[in-house]
Amino acid sequence: VWIGADTGLWRADGPDRVAPDPAFADRPVGALGRRGSVLAAAGPDGAWRRSGSGAWERVPGRFVQNVRAVHPAADGTLWVGTASGLYLLDGKRPARRLGTPEQLCSSNVHALAELPDGTVAVGSTGGVDLYRKGRRVGVLSANRKIPSRFVRGIAVDGRNRLWLPTPIGVARWDPAEGF
């Protein structure tokens, strides 16, 4: 189990063993994300990716410091959700920021998850935006499929449905049913 905290990144290897990761000594970690064996961490000092070798690699790119969510996508892009927008870091060019109403329901991002087809769901205080190959392909909002626009988390189940916790209830959305 990995734990991100203001005092760094910690790993729990058993019921009585919790140790700091030396690569993050006194470096705040605001969010952790995982896809398979790839782990990502982000905080005010930047973003990192850890793959099968166990070594942490810094992902180049600048973004707002108040990180709330991070996700290492299957295509290699690191998605970083903040209180001031969504940042896409590919390590090759400057970070791409999404934050306008044409790009996101809200720039106040709280959750990220990826479906098996590569669609990334972005949960915010405005609903859920769905992105595939870097393009917005759909929106779930309070008047369309979810009880509240404030989506606090996103989970993908074994049938590839999204589970969306909100302040007034949990919604389930099945991509097979459309928008």
**Residue 68, both tokens:** 């709330």
**Residue 159, both tokens:** 């049938």
81: helix, strand or coil: strand
Q: What is the pLDDT of residues 106-130, one digit of tens each?
A: 999 999 999 999 999 999 999 999 9
Rounded-to-integer distance, Cα 119 and Cα 154, Å: 13
Which one, of 52, 62, 112, lies nearest residue 91 by Cα?
62
Rounded-to-integer distance, Cα 54 and Cα 37, Å: 10
pTM value is 0.91
Q: Which pLDDT score, from 0 to 100, does residue 179 have?
A: 62
Q: What is the pLDDT of residues 23-79, one digit of tens each?
A: 888 899 999 999 988 999 999 989 999 987 889 999 988 887 789 999 999 999 999
Strands (E), the chain: 2-5, 8-14, 17-20, 31-35, 38-43, 46-50, 56-59, 67-72, 78-82, 85-89, 96-98, 109-114, 120-124, 127-132, 135-140, 155-156, 162-166, 169-173
- Percent of the chain exceeding pLDDT 70 equals 99
Q: What is the pLDDT of residues 138-149, one digit of tens each?
A: 999 887 678 899
If residue 89 lies in a helix (H) or strand (E), which one and from where to where?
strand 85-89
In the block, tokens 């309070």 appear at: 142
